[in-house]
Amino acid sequence: MRAKGFPTIIIIHVRQTLAEYARARGCPGRDQALPASCPQPDCQVGGRMVYWGRYTRTALTGVMIYVLLIQRVRCQACGHTQALLPDFLHPHRRYVLSVMQQVVTLYLWGGLGFGQLLKRLPGDGPAGETVREWLTAFGYGAGYLLWGRLQRFVAGLAPLTTTAPTERPPALGRSRQADLLARGAQLWQWGEQLYAHSKAVRVQLAYQAGLFFPFVLHWLQQQGLPPRLFWSPRLKGTPRVPY
């Protein structure tokens, strides 16, 4: 079963850093242009989106705790509301996306065990159980739900120049989760190829090393998929078949 009613989140790019966003007067999401049409798959009516209140949520870096105002929008045609979520956040996660990316990077490509990995993370967090859950959720989301979709998309962009990723992350065992994480690493490599192709078309496109995951979230949204890389397989609303 696929999750019903998505998307309930619209990923937006904001010029402010996390700290600047938190300090801003009012809600920075209010400065965003309204979506041209409703993103709800069974609606998509144009010109009926309006601002619709806001709510607060926390964002953790391991060093600081920020309280952010998140803008909502509503479609007057179907009545669904969407949250305009800054792309330094991941839906339904309290830690900022750059910390989550750092965890996956250190585990997959750095080959660090949990003890070493936790020592490399900023401040007092995240906890070991949280790190383990992130890796499981990344393996399920990137290595199972999204892997084939991104592979097919990138292969269709430039089939003569695209190469299949072959590098397997170091120090992965042979468990099913390890296999999913290996495929998640392949998705990462497909994503790097997608960025290279996008950069060739849009020369002004640029992202820092810690902002690769936001780039992928924007691509997922453009494909009409929920903009999520981390899917916990234990949650009720998690899809059970790949996209």
> What are the Cα distances from residue 170, in Å, to 22, 24, 167, 230?
38, 42, 9, 21
What percentage of residues in the chain have a pLDDT greater than 70?
87
| Bridge partners for 60 per DSSP | 65, 95
Residue 161 CB contacts under 8 Å (≥ 6 apart), including other chains? none
CB–CB of 37/44 below 8 Å?
Answer: yes
**Average confidence (pLDDT) over 96-108:** 93
- Band (pLDDT 50/70/90 cuts) for residue 38 is very high
Residue 70 CB contacts under 8 Å (≥ 6 apart), including other chains? 27, 29, 54, 55, 56, 57, 83, 84, 85
Mean pLDDT of the chain: 87
pLDDT digits (tens, 9 = 90+) for 164-222: 666 677 667 767 788 999 999 999 989 988 988 887 777 666 666 668 899 999 999 99
